[in-house]
Amino acid sequence: MFTWVLSAALCAGVHGATTLDLSFVDTDGKPVRLATADLLLVAWGATERIGLETSDDGLSLTLDGDWLRSRWSRFDDQEGVYLYLQAPPLAAIQSHRFTWLGAAGHAGAVTIAFPRGQEIAVDEGMNATMTVVFRTTARRRVRVVDPDGRPRPGTAINAFMFWSQSNHCAVLAGGEPLGSFVANTDGWIEVPDGDFEYAFELGRGFTSDHVFLNEGRYERERLVTRLLQPDTDVVVHQFPVRPLEMRVWRADEP
């Protein structure tokens, strides 16, 4: 059992900027130095990734709208923002999607939530602090099966850290490749572990109108999910292929 360290020391700033200072520890409470921190930005038909400056003390975010608007041309029609944190060899962390202060119809406060119950709400004009816990990586597997639960050995799967498919054609516009994998004789593949959303697509040679990962109306070729268990089944659906009979007529004659 781990006890997660989460603190929020809030001091009202009468006219000051809205800020969030993040520090990082591992599950033993030892300080963690970030390798990279990025904002993953989503607007309809557009994505962008902005690198953030880190220090030995952690990461300082200015959450006021003017700060991000000056760096992102699609700020005013944003669909959301993710914060993506990496500190190898620990498991990378992707926040849940949130809306930046100052966006249309959104003012007063911003809530930033991370996996495993780590969350903070920051009111406009406040200076907030938070300690985020990185966990060690663990074995993470998915088993490729058919709808009856039978393994599909040899199936090729591409895996991504996911943040956007928001466009007319549902193209994976926001995704960081994690690798290409082939299911073993029991249907298993092992993927890099992280506290983020995954996107899985069928790999080369397995894409077809008859084969799909998602039973929804859109994005049928892609499954987007968080992996909450060490082992997870990924179901590959396949329409039965039936012969098509066609008769050709000319002037009422076959």
CATH number, domain of 216, equals 2.60.40.1120
Dmax (CA) for the chain in angstroms is 88
Q: Answer yes or no: do 122 and 149 share one domain.
A: no
The answer to whether residue 75 sits within a structural domain is yes
**Per-residue confidence (pLDDT) for residue 51, from 0 to 100:** 96
First to last CA, the chain: 75
pLDDT for res 160: 93
In a domain, 250, yes or no: no
Whether residue 253 lies inside any domain: the answer is no
Q: The domain containing residue 76 runs over which residues?
A: 11-133
Work out the number of other CB atoms within 10 angstroms of the CB of residue 182: 13
Instruction: Give 211's strand partners.
Output: 208, 238
- Tokens 């921190």 locate to 37
pLDDT of 4 reads 41
Residues 34 and 121 placed together within one structural domain of the fold? yes
Residues 127 and 145 in one domain: no
pTM of whole model > 0.85?
no
Residue 4 lies in a domain: no
Spell out, as residue ranges, where the chain has pLDDT lower than 70: 1-15, 106-107, 168-170, 204-221, 238-242
Spatial distance between the Cα atoms of 159 and 180, rounded to a whole number of angstroms: 6
CB-based burial label for 108 (10 Å; 0-12, 13-18, 19+):
exposed
Of 149, 164, 139, 137, residue with least CA distance to 41: 164
Domain-located, residue 125: yes
**Does 87 share its domain with 16?**
yes
What CA–CA distances, in Å, run from 236 to 32, 191, 204, 221, 233? 39, 17, 15, 10, 10
Does residue 195 share a domain with residue 114? no
Calculate the alpha carbon distances from 180 to 51, 93, 243 in Å: 26, 21, 33
Whole-number Å distance between alpha carbons of 75 and 61: 16
The total number of structural domains that make up the chain? 2
Residue ending a domain, choose from 133, 154, 184: 133
pLDDT tens for each residue of 23-56: 999 999 999 999 999 999 998 888 999 999 999 9
Last residue of one domain, picked from the residues 133, 151, 185? 133
Is the residue at 205 inside a domain?
A: yes
Residue 225 lies in a domain: yes
Looking at the domain assignment, is residue 180 inside a domain?
A: yes
Q: What integer pLDDT is reported at residue 241 of this predicted model? A: 62
Distance CA 156, CA 224 (A): 17
pLDDT given for residue 91 in this prediction: 96
Indicate whether 177 and 117 sit together in one domain: no
Q: What CATH number corresponds to the domain at position 93?
A: 2.60.40
Give the domain-ending residue among 111, 133, 155: 133
**Both 178 and 212 in a single domain?**
yes
